[in-house]
Structure 1
């Protein structure tokens, strides 16, 4: 047999996705290239690795065993690469971060310079809601989490990153009765909420309750991007973090509703368990953030601190 590591990577991904098309997309390869490598890999075995029924691909029992073996081989290769880098004095290993969905507009900027500097560091970033992020942290499934609300039940350490401002936003065709809307103007609106467990939803619910705003109609969506698109489409209004809305505001697709006691302000934090024994990679990232966060915030997020201009 003369299969290559490249073929192992491709077959492992096909086994995971049960699809040549999905595998090619996730590996950033063309579908014909993946199909050719799959055929070349299959030709080295007497038993079928897969079968096609109708238009769907199924991995055989033998194929599943080969996929498991491929996964183990690739893990060992990864370990060899890490060990080689360590002996060369390079930082190598994995960094796992869990972030709330809105933080996806910020965390890549805090990671970018670190990843470019350390080419042998692999990053896994799980984007979900606040409850799931805290669960991942509590269960030791990640090194760090990025949140705007500090969990009260966990003993954590933190690095304060940047402000998180939230405004009431509406589509371009929303016209309140006055230049500045009153709370009564909102009563007949359809309110678009994030799902339960979201920090943004909690902030919105607290604001509406505090100001006794009547919720006659509401919609619930599971991501900030979905909420943004729904608001742009004119379905309703929502309280949303300013980060991630800059272009839509500039283009006039969204408008900020000027109203009492807004914006709401919290702070983004990088947090980790106080009892967590950080790996060398995690320690290096922690030091990188401490040393570079002010410069990153100034260069990348100054526009959000001046968001009252909208």
Structure 2
């Protein structure tokens, strides 16, 4: 057998995601490249590693055993690399962060300089909805999480980063009018919601309930990007975080519609469990964020002041 570490990494990722497409996305490779490597890897075994049933990919029992072995090998390789860098005096290890979907527009700016300075640090960042972020934090699966509303069900330590503003947003086709949108006008508009478990959805539902507004028509989509494109296309309106619509506001594809009681203002927070024994990498990152956050906000998010 003559399989490579690259093939082991690809097959392990396929076994994790149960999808060649998702594996390709997470590894920043093309789908054909992943398919070819899977084929080459499979050719070294007489027993199938995967099977396709009803156009869905499944990992066989034998494949799962190989995936477990691949994970052990890859972890050992990482350990060798970390030890080599450690002997050279560099900070090494993994930094694991889970962020709510709209935080993907914020978190990279607080990570960029730290990752550039510490080449021995590997970053794993999961982007999902708030419910899953809290689950991963509570399950001690990550070092840090980034949320706009602090979870009430668990005790956390936190560092406040920057404001998160949510506005009522429509497409270019919405006719502008003087003053704020009246209650009866709001209630006539089709609304687009994020999925259950999303902090943005919770904020939108609370706003509607607190203001005793009725909803004429509701559309549910599972990502901020999907909501944004639906509004641009004219499917409806939504309450959205300002952080994710900067470019569309400047091109005129989206517009902020004045509504009494908006914007809703919360704060992005980097959070962690008080009982968490932070690794040297995690502690170093926390120190970095604490000392550089004000400068990063001034350099990268000054445009917030326009709204």
TM-score range (shorter-chain normalised) is 0.7 to 0.9
Q: Distance in 1 between matches of 2:149 and 2:14?
A: 39
Q: TM-score, normalised by structure 1?
A: 0.86
Structure 1 contact 50–57 (Cα < 8 Å) conserved: no
Q: Which residue number corresponds to residue 9 of structure 2?
A: 9
Q: Which residue number corresponds to residue 270 of structure 1?
A: 270
Between 157-166 and 130-139, report the one with greater CA deviation: 130-139
Alignment of 1:55-204 (within 5 A): 62-175=62-175, 178-204=178-204
Q: Deviations over 1:134-164 (max 9, x none)?
A: 2221221211111111123322211110011
Structure 1 contact 148–267 (Cα < 8 Å) conserved: yes
Structure 1 contact 183–211 (Cα < 8 Å) conserved: no
Report the aligned-residue RMSD: 2.8
Q: SS state of the match for residue 243, structure 2?
A: coil
- The structure-2 alpha-carbon separation of the partners of 1:174 and 1:53, relative to structure 1 and needing over 3 Å to count, comes to closer
Equivalent residue pairs, number: 306
Q: Distance in 2 between matches of 1:102 and 1:197?
A: 13
Q: Deviations over 1:93-138 (max 9, x none)?
A: 1111111111111011111111111112122212222222222212
The Cα of 1:59 is off from its aligned counterpart by: 6.1
Between 282-291 and 200-209, report the one with greater CA deviation: 200-209
Q: Which residue number corresponds to residue 248 of structure 1?
A: 248
Q: Which residue number corresponds to residue 224 of structure 1?
A: 224
Q: SS state of the match for residue 96, structure 2?
A: strand
Q: Distance in 2 between matches of 1:31 and 1:58?
A: 17
Q: TM-score, normalised by structure 2?
A: 0.87
- The structure-2 alpha-carbon separation of the partners of 1:273 and 1:251, relative to structure 1 and needing over 3 Å to count, comes to same
- The structure-2 alpha-carbon separation of the partners of 1:154 and 1:53, relative to structure 1 and needing over 3 Å to count, comes to closer
* Residue 207 (1) aligns with residue 203 (2): no
| Structure index of larger Rg | 1
- The structure-2 alpha-carbon separation of the partners of 1:67 and 1:294, relative to structure 1 and needing over 3 Å to count, comes to same
Q: Distance in 2 between matches of 1:183 and 1:170?
A: 16
Q: Deviations over 1:33-65 (max 9, x none)?
A: 6666556656655x3455887999876655544
The Cα of 1:184 is off from its aligned counterpart by: 2.4
- The structure-2 alpha-carbon separation of the partners of 1:193 and 1:12, relative to structure 1 and needing over 3 Å to count, comes to closer
The Cα of 1:189 is off from its aligned counterpart by: 0.8
- The structure-2 alpha-carbon separation of the partners of 1:103 and 1:33, relative to structure 1 and needing over 3 Å to count, comes to closer
- Please, which runs of 5 or more residues in structure 1 have no aligned partner? none
Q: Distance in 2 between matches of 1:51 and 1:262?
A: 51
